[in-house]
Amino acid sequence: MSTDFHLDSVVQDDCLVIRTFGYVNNMGGKEIVKCFNEGFDHGLTKIVINLAESKVVNSIGISYLLEIIEKLMDKKGKLVFTNLEPAIEKTFSIMGLFHFAEHAATEETAIAKMGE
């Protein structure tokens, strides 16, 4: 089965930056959680998820993002989303993600927020 989803990640200033590409659905959500867990197991609790190349997110994808938020809350970690499409930002806001996570315009501002 083809899919357009893929991601890459990089550790920068003690932050795990995950960049997604394509539809964030069940498969995309699983990939993000897998990438997050690898960093989390190595002690990374500052996470940036850049959704610049993901224009569509469904609610299953969002449930995986909530899973990440819950795990980070237990360890007093922080999650910042960046480069959100206005429609996705609105969806995240309604789903309550911004009660526990933040959002920033760019990766740089997100990393800067980690120190606050």
Partner 1 sequence: MDYSTLTGRLSIHLDSIQEGFEELYKQHSMPELAKQFAHLLSGNFMTADVNLFFREHDQDEWHDAYVKNSQAFALLQQLSIKDTFFIYENKGDYPLAFSLPVAESAQFVVLLGRKLNKTSYSDFEKLSLQMFAQLLANAYQAYCMQKKEKDLIFSLNHRIVQLNSLVDAGIKITRLKRDGAILSHGLEQAVAMTNAARGRVKIIKRNRTRYLYFPKGFVSRDFKNYTSILSTTFTFRRTSYTFEIFDKESRHGTIDFEMTDELLLESLSRQVHVALENRELGRQAVEKLRMEQEVAVAREVQQTLLPKQLPAIENYNIAGINIPSTEIGGDYYDCLPLDDGRYALVVADVTGHGIPASLLVNSFHASLYSLLNSNFTLREFVQKLNKVIYTASPANKFITAFFALLEPATGKIEYISAGHNPAFISTREKSCVKLNAGGIILGMLGFDIPMESETVFLESGQRILIYTDGIPEADNRQGTMYGDDTLTDFFKEHGELGAQEFINGLIDDVKRFTHGAPQSDDITALYLCREK
Shorter beta-carbon distance to partner 1: residue 88 or 110: 88
Amino acid identity, position 87: A
Q: In this structure, what DSSP letter does residue 30 have?
A: H
Amino acid identity, position 47: I
**Binder among 11, 14, 90, 98 for partner 1 (CB under 8 A):** 90
Shorter beta-carbon distance to partner 1: residue 15 or 88: 88
* Cβ atoms 46, 77 nearer than 8 A: yes
Structure tokens belonging to residue 91: 């969806």
**Binder among 13, 55, 106, 108 for partner 1 (CB under 8 A):** 55
How big is the site for partner 1, counted in residues (CB under 8 A)? 28
What is the phi/psi pair of residue 70, to 5°?
A: -60, -45
Shorter beta-carbon distance to partner 1: residue 58 or 109: 58
* Cβ atoms 16, 36 nearer than 8 A: yes
Q: By the criterion CB under 8 A, which residues form the site for partner 1? A: 1-5, 22-23, 25-27, 55-60, 63, 66-67, 70-71, 74, 87, 90-91, 94-96
